[in-house]
Amino acid sequence: MENENKKLTPMRFLSDRKEMPWGTVEYKLADLGFIDSMASEGWLKGNNLSDIMQTYLERVVGETSFNWYGTQFPVLVKKLTVKGRTSLHVTADDEVAEQRYDAFGKTALWYVEAAGPDARLYLGFKDDITAADFYKACHENKVESLLHSVKPKAGESYLITPGMVHAAKDVTLVEIAEASELWFRLHDWGSEERELHLEEAFDLIDFQRYRVKRDTEGKGAIAITPQFTVNKIALTQPLKSTRDEDDTFLLYYCTRGVADIQADKVNYKMKEGDLILVPAETNEFFLLPETSDAELLEIRMDPRPENDIVSEPVDEE
């Protein structure tokens, strides 16, 4: 890659859209091997995220992220447009994922962009249940009666932790997650068209009652995890970011209105659904509202505890 010593600037990437039985998945940013986002403008246009990471390393993500995740970009962002209902999934934590699959686990945040008239999120169980109860319900197609479901509203967010069974219906979500697509399909509502992983993932399931935690505030942190932090910013006035000791990349996803990121006297316009990566190397920039309703999600990685377990992912063959 040419210009290895040239200063990195904010980056946009092409989306990668995939049709699903229940709707669509649009990968806004991902470094997963089978999905590898491509820069869409600027002097890095045409380069994939994995190539950019291999060349510029901690200059893109910061030393904290690089020390944990190496040359893989640590976060993925995708948009789920769910017209029907997704299958019921569960994910593993980092420790189990490393031991069994030599991969990253998956913690995710679901941010609700829009909710249809039949919108539902299925998050954990209504009550403490036994493994036998769940196994029986899966085979009798009676799982829904055990699940804790909520009717989501636009602007709410829900943290999806390892072990929590989850599914979505008639809703548009932005998923912000650890850079992993390691998940297991437990139940598909009676359909036999797709492979199930019930037995393989059975010991990953948290069978305790789940109390839903949602965020409906207009600003502030909506997720703080070892894997990522997400802040919601109601951009009513210009904000200056000076990052003398802030050792992390920043992702900005526009959920509403129009805003600009200004760095080195260059403006990068964002409208609803746009995402921009500000590299760790960018020391100073401004967030500027173009409309009074401008709202952004800011995604970053803060220092992780030293006893956290993160593995290098398996190379795709």
234 and 282 together in one domain: yes
Host domain of residue 231: 220-300
204 and 296 together in one domain: no
* Of 184, 215, 246, the domain-final residue: 215
In Å, what is the CA distance from 186 to each residue of 181, 194, 221, 257, 295? 15, 11, 31, 38, 36
pLDDT along the chain (317 residues), means of 10: 81 97 97 97 95 96 90 97 98 96 95 98 97 96 96 96 97 97 96 93 95 59 93 96 84 98 96 97 95 97 61 34
CB 108 within 8 A of CB 223: no
What is the sign, positive or negative, of the torsion defined by CA atoms of 54, 17, 182, 303? Answer: positive
φ, ψ of residue 38 in degrees (nearest 5): -110, 130
Whole-angstrom Cα distance, residue 111 to residue 99? 30
231 forms bridges with which residues in the sheet? 221, 298
Neighbour count for residue 305 (Cβ, 10 Å):
6
Amino acid at 193: E
134 and 281 together in one domain: no
Instruction: Please indicate, yes or no, if residue 11 is contained in any of the structural domains.
Output: no
Structure tokens at 94: 């980092």
187 and 289 together in one domain: no
What is the sign, positive or negative, of the torsion defined by CA atoms of 196, 202, 208, 210? Answer: negative
Instruction: Please indicate, yes or no, if residue 3 is contained in any of the structural domains.
Output: no
234 forms bridges with which residues in the sheet? 295
Instruction: Please indicate, yes or no, if residue 9 is contained in any of the structural domains.
Output: no
210 and 270 together in one domain: no
Give the number of domains in the chain.
Answer: 2
224 and 211 together in one domain: no
54 and 186 together in one domain: yes
172 and 253 together in one domain: no
Given this model, what pLDDT does residue 308 score? 52
138 and 279 together in one domain: no
Cα 154 from chain centre: 17
Q: CB neighbours of 208 closer than 8 A, spacing ≥ 6?
A: 124, 125, 128
Q: What is the pTM of this model?
A: 0.92
165 and 25 together in one domain: yes
The model's pLDDT over 108-157, given as tens digits with 9 standing for 90+, comes to 999 999 999 999 999 999 999 999 999 999 999 999 999 999 999 999 99
CB 102 within 8 A of CB 314: yes
Give DSSP secondary structure letters for 31-77: BSSSSB-BB-SSTTTT-BHHHHHHHHTHHHH-HHHHHHHTTS-SEEE
* Of 159, 190, 215, the domain-final residue: 215
Instruction: Please indicate, yes or no, if residue 305 is contained in any of the structural domains.
Output: no
Q: Report the CATH number at residue 175.
A: 2.60.120.10
